[in-house]
Amino acid sequence: MYRQVDGIAMGSPLGPTLANIFVGFQEKLVFDRFLKPVCYLHYVNDIFVMCSSCTEAEELLEQLNLLYSVSTFTMEGEVNDSLPFLDVLIERSGMSFTTSIYRKPTFTVQYISCVSFSPKIRKLNLIKTLVHRPLLICSNTKLDAELQSITEILLANGYPLHVIQICMRDKILTFKGGTFVGLRNVPYM
């Protein structure tokens, strides 16, 4: 028997929305009394902050943790001029930033196998989905390396190179507002 006295049940469809509202409320309380940092972004309960100094970051963390005793915010600083935030790796070089895909150290490079008993459209959409993410996230200088990495991952999962290339080309063209060739009649298995 379990009685929930605070928060919302894990997996509830309302969870992310209510978490976002809660963090937004917390932010308003903090920034009414505290100087807003150089950059402050959040997604649900993950917050990306750029402060002028480490002292300012520690003060902000302390202010956030004073607001609500049940939740505790933690801070992770950059290591070797880079910091993962959600699935984005943000790298600092001088006064500029580059972004690329971040994969946890436990990432296994396993996706649905090309020879699995699964609809063809699901396999083709996997390729498009994997390509869509770096098109949104990666800096221009990191995009080619990420597309090459995706190609290697898909080859390791049994996908033929020509199918990978066609899907990638079509996704990139449609992403940039072009027209695509179409994949209905591509023989690959």
Residue 107: how many CA atoms within 13 Å on its side-chain side?
9
pLDDT of residue 145: 95
- Residues 185, 128, single domain; the answer is yes
Q: State the Cα–Cα distance between residues 101 and 104, nearest whole angstrom.
A: 10
* SS3 assignment, position 49: strand
Indicate whether 30 belongs to any domain. yes
Indicate whether 80 belongs to any domain. no
- Residues 58, 133, single domain; the answer is no
| Element holding 155 (H helix, E strand) | helix 140-156
Indicate whether 63 belongs to any domain. yes
pLDDT interval class at 104 (50, 70, 90): very high
Indicate whether 179 belongs to any domain. yes
pLDDT of residue 83: 93
pLDDT of residue 178: 56
Q: Which residues span the domain enclosing 45? A: 15-67
Model-level pTM greater than 0.95?
no
| pLDDT tens profile 109-134 | 999 999 999 999 999 999 999 999 99
- Residues 45, 124, single domain; the answer is no
Indicate whether 60 belongs to any domain. yes
Which residues, at least 6 apart from 167, have a Cβ–Cβ distance to it below 8 Å? 124, 127, 128, 131, 183
Residue 106: exposure state from Cβ atoms within 10 A (0-12, 13-18, ≥19):
exposed
Indicate whether 110 belongs to any domain. yes
Q: What is the mean pLDDT of the chain?
A: 85
- Residues 109, 63, single domain; the answer is no
Q: State the Cα–Cα distance between residues 108 and 5, nearest whole angstrom.
A: 38
- Residues 124, 174, single domain; the answer is yes
| pLDDT tens profile 6-59 | 777 778 888 888 878 887 887 888 888 887 888 888 887 788 888 888 898 898
pLDDT interval class at 179 (50, 70, 90): low
Indicate whether 83 belongs to any domain. no
How many domains is the chain partitioned into structurally? Answer: 2
- Residues 182, 134, single domain; the answer is yes
